[in-house]
Structure 1
Amino acid sequence: MSLLSESEQRQVSEAIDRIEVDTDAEVVTVLAGQADDYKYIPLLWAALIALVVPGAINYLPGWLAHHQLLLVQWALFVVLAVLFRLPQVAPRLIPRNVRHGRACNLARRQFIEQNLHHTEKATGMLIFVSEAERYVEILVDRGISSRVDNAVWEGAVARFTEQVRAGKTLQGFLDCIETCGAQLKHAVPATHERNELPNRLIVLD
């Protein structure tokens, strides 16, 4: 996984510049490499297996003495804790609802931290992506949500998510920004020139 290069980030910024000419909405894009480090989850799996497996084999006749069982448990825990921390293994151990929950929380924090809730006429929009979780979300303030049905953004999110899964994050951003811009142009048309928030892609790595 690699985040967008500087030239690709500029393309995202330029796309926002183009759509904001026609709308009073303030669009902010955030790209996170990963929403959480999930360090505790590999340890939980290692501890669970180290408790269950030696306990199960101990029921076999004449298998292990008590002190040997403890050694096996400790050795198994250490080996699995190291193995489960490998980048190729760790993501597979994290339940989907946990990954999406962490990404969802980060998106909402970014909405606040980027001051999208303080825009003139409450027309802030966040397009958020977390690559490791393959998670995309669009959050809008009440000035937009009162004029555009959430189903419109859900469709854009679904398409963008497929592009992230296919490794086409840049194209996903560009397509999503264009789709959102078309909706915002009619729902929240430009009334005067302004630019309250930065248009650059914010990268959290």
Structure 2
Amino acid sequence: MTWINKYLTNDEMKKIEETISRVEEETSGEIVPVIVKRSSAIGHVPLVLTLILTLVFVLAEIPYSDWLWVTPWVWMWFPVLIVIYGVSFFLAKLHWFQKVFVSEADEIAQVHQRAQLEFYSNKIHRTEAGTGVLIFVSVMEKKAVILADEAISGKLPPDTWNNLLKDLRASLHDGHWHAAFTKAIETCGQHLKTHFPIAETRKNQLKNHLVVKE
């Protein structure tokens, strides 16, 4: 997944994983950072672009309609529509168009759904004491979510995560991805070790990996 290297180098990703290992030496909590390329469905984007570009083309050809809509020129509409769809399919792959044609409400809903999916698919809910934390970032939507398991949620108020998210989003917006994740993990660890200090028989239940997905 070479796209992630636009935001983090391989060395920076390794350092993030080292930060997880270091932080978890002081707490029984488990921290899992996840970055996905996008959460929102974009299958509708090529069709929407095709309709828009076709409408623009129809409006543009109105002055020439007297001869474009008669034989043999009328048959040119079929290859024109195929070309328009091909252009739309290409444009739909671009981040800007994907962002434009997904509403803010849909983005928020689908990012939270994807965060919940990653929470369960990465088995963060399977820790023995319910002390797993997901730090989730969806790149296309430029949104972040933090989900804490039941035991942690009962100890820490929502403002704890809201403040952490505020700092995380600000650093990501400034392009400081390595610093953003490092600080978020360290801050999360500070909160966790207060309520969930390291146990004498503590075992690492989740891999200390930075998870990157499409």
Equivalent residue number for residue 158 of structure 2: 150
Is the counterpart of residue 120 in structure 1 residue 162 in structure 2?
Answer: no
1:194 is matched with which residue? 203
Which residues in structure 2 correspond to 1:1-205 (within 5 Å)?
2-3=4-5, 4-36=8-40, 38-48=42-52, 50=54, 71=77, 74=81, 77-78=84-85, 81-82=88-89, 84-87=91-94, 89-95=96-102, 96-192=104-200, 193-205=202-214
Residue 185 (structure 1) shift: 1.3
Number of residues paired by the alignment?
203
Pair 81,119 (structure 1): closer, same or farther in 2 beyond 3 Å:
same
User: Please, which runs of 5 or more residues in structure 2 have no aligned partner?
Assistant: none
User: Pairwise CA RMSD of aligned residues?
Assistant: 3.0
- AA in 2 matched with 1:28: V
* Equivalent residue letter for 2:94: P
Does the aligned pair in 2 maintain the 1:23–1:191 contact within 8 Å?
Answer: yes
Q: What's the offset of the Cα at 1:191? A: 2.6
TM-score with structure 1 length normalisation?
0.81
| SS of alignment partner, residue 121 of structure 1 | coil
Distance in 2 (CA, whole Å) between partners of 1:19 and 1:76 is: 54
Write the distance in 2 (CA, Å) between the matches of 1:2 and 1:117.
Answer: 26
* SS of aligned partner of 2:109: helix
Identical pairs, percent: 24
CA contact (8 A) 2:136 2:146 kept: yes
Tell me how far apart the structure 1 counterparts of residues 178 and 209 of structure 2 sit (CA, whole Å). Answer: 13
Matched AA of 1:2:
I
Q: What does the per-residue CA deviation read over 1:161-190, in whole Å, with 9 as the maximum and x for residues that have no partner?
A: 122222221111001011111111112222
The 3-state SS of whatever aligns with 1:21 is: helix
Partner-residue secondary structure (3-state), 2:26: coil
The alpha carbon displacement at 1:119 in A equals 0.7
Aligned equivalents of 1:189, 1:41: Cα separation in 2: 48
Distance 1:171 1:184 in 2: 20
Return the letter of the residue paired with 2:100: L
Instruction: Report the CA distance between 1:49 and its aligned residue.
Output: 5.6
Instruction: Give how far 1:17 is off.
Output: 1.4
User: Which has the higher mean CA deviation after the structures are superposed, 139-148 or 30-39?
Assistant: 30-39
2:32 match: secondary structure: strand
The answer (yes or no) to whether the contact 1:49–1:77 under 8 Å persists in 2 is yes
Kept in 1, the 8 Å contact 2:107–2:141? The answer is yes
Pair 44,62 (structure 1): closer, same or farther in 2 beyond 3 Å: closer
For residue 75 of structure 1, report the CA deviation from its aligned partner.
6.7
CA 1:199–1:66: 2 relative to 1, 3 Å: same
Give the structure with the higher percent helix: 2
CA distance in 2, matches of 1:135, 1:61: 46
User: 1:143 deviation in Å?
Assistant: 0.4
